[in-house]
Chains A and B, each alone.
Chain A
């Protein structure tokens, strides 16, 4: 009896124009094999035919494009639900691939050839690269956007066990019985990969026992991606990206049968023992008609037995020879030719296996066959284990003791529940693989043969890490499952005992995964809305990203919005500003320390423009400080800088042991800017409080009630007109906004967005941190020396500014104008006398001034900025004049009205 029930073949999928039936329990590969497909892929570099090999998902031979997704491991992917399958490489087809001629031209393509050839003349390589990309690879990546909606799901078990074999199930069961919350993860369907028999029954019993534990959960067909710091184990299945945050981890990922190296070891018809036995025992298919089995392990003899019984049952197939150690010869079923103590030295055939050459007792013998099954030992599948150097991870079963018996595996698993016990050490006594002939493929994924390793060694790449990077061995789909042991053996034979032969660093992902799976649940960016968001949308605003906020860029007519500010009155939602209450016995001391300006001399109900400098003296944010009373302040920062500024405040509070309370009121306080020559008139219509210049002078603030809403009103000047910021409880933003617009109707009020704001502030020469500043911008380069008081005994950045002041200043942010109706593009390059000197950071056409206005970084002789400048953008050159001071209302009479 097999797992695949051929009597219920009621599904099918399309394969390169053919309809392939599949039975219940079939994988894609088993269905294709049953339908007569023998060439499953073409190799990466030489386009050699490749057939099924491991049937455990470890080798690259069965990778195909399934329903548009490339590089799917068809040997472990169920056929149920699949619609279309195709092979990735081959021109015009995988069956008849013209590019297989590359094997005959392999002498032109030694390892690393692309670093040495095709680079002179230089124009050759871009062409060669395009060709190489077309003919190599595993299949095209889908171009259409992903419509994946997979989410993340977080788990917090006490222990996660990776691997659902005997060792893993035992480890999970022991932990659950000990009262721990357990999660067991397996990339397949537990027990269905084993042929019916005692082993499968044992696994099934363990699984059933674990399922009855209330504190245990089992995830099947779920792939552990890696082990990360935390620890964190991401696991991908069809439904979720599971983020598992365990207290400890057990890795029971088993072992892979050893890949043997000899000429022809990649021909279709050469199998690993577990693969052939699985094909026969699980899917009821015979791998070939004339079978040679080569094994030196008890497990291999079990595979031989399965194949022998399957061949006899199916008829038309036979084991024609068994190559075994003499000590095991008596266990070979009668009627099979035994070659004792033999070694496979060659496999031959044109496109498929036709014969093998066996060397025994000094003589070579050719055996005609179409199938060679190899069970020559196990290599631990330890990639995950090697990823976790510092995390609480232990191994159990074959991954630490390859070839252990079922009883030993169960004991190994149960022992992991004793968290106080020393972890089981990996078996260091694993015999290194024999490397065989120079022509044998070491790496099936990347088509690397032994002789190519020898070339690389001769060129000086003499360690596992260097050979790996130069040859790309272990970097393919198998991630070293089949070839890592050979890499170590090669270096170990040439440098015995040297550190150069140590295992290479294992990194996630342990298996091929989709980027969209890693992005599960993370595709939605954090999006902040102010309380006025719906009002902006209802008004037809163009909403756009400003940091993590959605803000109105404009309401459909930027120029009208601009004139509303310059001629009448306008309102703008500035609720996005970072807003904080800072209070306590040491509040003044803290602010004196972090700001380069004076704070202690600020009178109550007065505000001041402030800069934030880091310890190198470089500007990273700006804002306002408002004094409310003794030791009580209201401070603001830019919309995108608020979080960083808060961290800065808290860090210095802790660093200096200050008694300060810092409350983030960004969300609880809305803010509306009322700006324009008629701003005062508007406020007087909606408030019974005094709003004249004496009540709220420029730089002043007061508490007012505006249309019934309690507000902290701050007189500001960012846009260069009479302006008030109304800070209020955010739940009342909508009623306040509506009241202002309603009362302002006779004053031709309209709201303005960011587009108008950027022009308005530019006309005043006001900077935007991040747009007009670089990471190393000091206040003096911006002409903001007025905001820095070097007579203060100390503030953050002071020492650095003292040193910087000793250096000649040869670069400044300068204001400049450009005649005509077109302002240069932002980013335009600047030239003086044909010499490149800098770039424009902000630029707009000014309706008030009738010319272009810009800010730009300019290199210049010390103390001698240029007077004339040329800006070059995609439309050509524009001649400009470097000016001084704000472009608009240079004396500030309008904003100080």
Chain B
């Protein structure tokens, strides 16, 4: 069984020293995904964009004034894959191994383009640059045997109610 949704999320990128990033407190409804030691993506439902950007900027104004906080929401498109076929479909488009322990955050090439993936129990959110949205949609269609698996409409990203927001880096399992 497989379902694929096109989703749009609030994505706030934070660039600061590792120590400063470590001090950012958890925010309600927001996943913290550590891309690199000095780069963090905050991923949340679109309705939380303003609050996330504001509170993050406020934090770094004190913690590290030279930090850079950017709204990158328009730069990412997401596809949510659900069902027991999700892992197999992903394996057709990426060499990135999906960790057994979940939730997790991994990154690597998907369908030839760079991607960030939030891996949960029973579903995964694959974020690709918005310039590759149609490319990934077409490839998903290809690897699903041409089935019309992707709805035309985009919906707002929602945090999985079964999975509280977590903090994870690509190298280590998530912590809550």
- List A residues at the B interface (Cβ < 8 Å): 149, 151-156, 240, 243, 245, 521, 524-531, 533, 549, 581, 583-585, 631, 659, 661-669, 729-732
Contact = CB atoms under 8 A, between A and B. Distances in A.
Contacts of A526: 111-113, 132, 135
A152 B143 CA distance: 9
Contacts of A154: 91-92, 94-95, 97
Contacts of A731: 73-74, 130
Interface of B: 13, 15-17, 38, 66-68, 70-76, 88, 91-95, 97, 111-113, 129-135, 138-139, 142-143
B95 A730 contact: no
Contacts of A667: 74-76, 129-131
21 contacts: A152-B92, A524-B112, A524-B142, A526-B113, A528-B131, A529-B131, A530-B131, A581-B70, A583-B66, A585-B66, A662-B15, A663-B15, A664-B75, A666-B131, A667-B76, A668-B70, A668-B73, A668-B74, A668-B75, A729-B74, A731-B73
B134 A581 contact: no
Contacts of B112: 524-526
Nearest to A525: B112
Contacts of B134: 527, 529, 533
A217 to B, nearest CB: 12
A659 B66 contact: yes
Contact of B72 (A549, A661, A665): A665
Contacts of B13: 663
A527 B135 CA distance: 6
Contacts of B15: 583-584, 661-663
Nearest to B138: A524
Contacts of B67: 661
B139 to A, nearest CB: 6
A173 B71 CA distance: 52
Q: Is the interface of B mostly helix, strand, loop or mixed?
A: mixed
Contacts of A530: 131
| Nearest 9 interchain pairs by C-beta | A668-B75, A661-B15, A667-B75, A156-B97, A667-B129, A528-B131, A661-B68, A526-B112, A731-B74
A668 B38 CA distance: 20
Contact of A153 (B74, B92, B113, B135): B92
B92 to A, nearest CB: 5
Contacts of B66: 583-585, 631, 659
Nearest to B75: A668
A665 B70 contact: yes
Given A524-B138, A584-B66, A585-B66, A730 B130 contact: yes
A303 B112 CA distance: 52
A524 B74 contact: no
B97 A245 contact: yes
Contacts of B138: 524
Nearest to A668: B75
A157 B17 CA distance: 36
B145 to A, nearest CB: 9
Most buried by A among B13, B67, B91, B134: B91
Given A149-B142, A528-B135, A631-B66, A668 B130 contact: yes
A143 to B, nearest CB: 25
Contact of A524 (B75, B130, B131, B139): B139
Contacts of A151: 92, 142-143
A470 to B, nearest CB: 40
A666 B113 CA distance: 14
Given A149-B142, A154-B92, A668 B97 contact: no
A521 B91 CA distance: 11
Contacts of A661: 15-16, 38, 67-68
